[in-house]
Chains A and B, each alone.
Chain A
Amino acid sequence: MAFIDYYKVLGIPKDATEQAIKKAYRKMARKYHPDLNPNDKTAEQKFKEINEANEVLSHPENRKKYDAHGKDWKDADAYNQARQQQGQNRNYQQQGSSQFDQGGFSDFFESMFGGGSRSSRSQARFRGQDFNAELQLDLKDVYTSHKRTLTVNGKNIRMTIPAGVENGQVIKITGHGGPGANNGPKGDLFITFTINNNTPFKRDKANLYATVDLDLYTALLGGDITVNTFDGKVKLTVKPETQNGARLKLKGKGFPVYKKADTFGDLFITYDIKMPTNLTEKEKELFTELSKLR
């Protein structure tokens, strides 16, 4: 448990007045407030630290206690005294929770003042903090809608993951964030999806792209081939004299469109014509003959 210099956190001297503390807190809060720094974990952490520092230094009793134990922090007796204080203070824990406090105060704070000894600055009811979580899925997982149980902050949440979710997409689950202040409503949970693609298909929104190898003779003379789509195999007729790099669209064989049931993108197939190798003497002879005809 590391000693935290709350004065340093707020950038103020040890003899700072109450007004100076308030001013420093406001200044820092404006810089690191989560509303002003969306999706910035560093700012969120910093905001927690300055909140904690303000919580201690803006209350004369807390500040006095902090000053007394803080300066002799390395002394073992003072440490033990603080630990005893922890036991007593825990009995007075309140359920108050700042709307931006996800992980609680530091161990240091809790050892000095108990887990939730902050006071409420405002009587207004505010909704709780929004939580952010990341969910990694494979591309095949988001081809169909399915239910999944997530554990967020120790709570199990059963949610439907809609087909067609994109990489980086954020989904809001209402009411699964932090508890509100003064009985305000709970915040929301925002889940960011990271989609890993381990398939031979490339995805651009709802369209899929794939390359299919084609032998020279089928490309020249035409024929039937079987190709893989995301949900199975399909038979294709290759036109005679198909060129290398020719592209074919298989309508509706792409990826599901997000939140549009039964609507799919397209699958684009690009032919990659493979030249025969290790030609026999007879084949060379015949190709030479062919070349003379052109």
Chain B
Amino acid sequence: MNTKNVITITEFCQHYDIPESFIISLSEFELIEISTETETPCIYVTEIQSIEKLIRFHYELDINIEGIHAITSLLNRVEQLQENVKSLNNKLRFYEDVD
């Protein structure tokens, strides 16, 4: 396995100054995926950006894990709906142009 693509939870938490239990909780709520292919639990580098967002929710906005779970689901829905709107707008442009 390519270890360049993962970072240990310990290292990550030291860097962001957060307890490891927070990352474990995120994983228990299936908000992030923890790599089980390594000896020590790791997170995927590709997930760092979204984990940072979850850290901000918790430490800046005082939102608990249950709240983060609900917000994440809703934000995913918003994103899907925005994609749909974009696609429908493009379709509408197509028909509006018809003479």
Contact = CB atoms under 8 A, between A and B. Distances in A.
Interface residues of A, number: 24
Contact of A168 (B49, B63, B90): B90
Contacts of B98: 202
B78 A167 contact: no
Interface in B49-87: 49, 52-53, 55-57, 59-63, 71, 75, 78-79, 82, 86
Given A26-B61, A39-B82, A124 B89 contact: no
B57 to A, nearest CB: 7
A164 B89 CA distance: 17
A155 B12 CA distance: 31
Contacts of B4: none
Interface in A110-158: 122-127
A36 interface: yes
Given A30-B63, A123-B17, A202 B75 contact: no
A123 B16 CA distance: 8
B56 A38 contact: no
A167 B93 contact: yes
Interface string B36-56: 000000000000010011011
Contacts of B16: 124-126
A268 to B, nearest CB: 12
A115 B15 CA distance: 28
A204 interface: yes
B17 A197 contact: no
B75 A122 contact: no
B65 to A, nearest CB: 15
Contact of B61 (A29, A126, A166): A29
Nearest to B91: A204
A30 B62 CA distance: 9
A202 B55 CA distance: 45
Chain A facing B: main interface SS: loop
A33 B49 contact: no
B30 interface: no
A35 interface: yes
Given A125-B15, A166-B90, A202-B97, A36 B75 contact: yes
A36 B53 CA distance: 10
B31 to A, nearest CB: 14
Contact of A30 (B18, B61, B75): B61
Nearest to A125: B15
A122 B59 contact: yes
Nearest to B95: A202
Contacts of A30: 61-63
A203 interface: yes
Contacts of B17: 122-124
Contacts of B86: 167-169
Interface in A1-58: 26, 29-30, 33, 35-36, 38-39
Nearest to B93: A167
A168 B79 contact: no
Contacts of B57: 35
Given A33-B60, A122-B17, A127 B97 contact: no
A26 B82 CA distance: 27
Contacts of A168: 86, 89-90
Contact of B56 (A35, A39, A197): A35
28 contacts: A29-B60, A29-B61, A30-B62, A30-B63, A33-B61, A35-B53, A36-B61, A36-B71, A36-B75, A38-B79, A38-B82, A122-B59, A123-B17, A124-B16, A124-B17, A124-B55, A124-B59, A125-B15, A126-B52, A127-B52, A167-B86, A167-B89, A167-B90, A197-B93, A197-B97, A203-B94, A204-B90, A209-B94
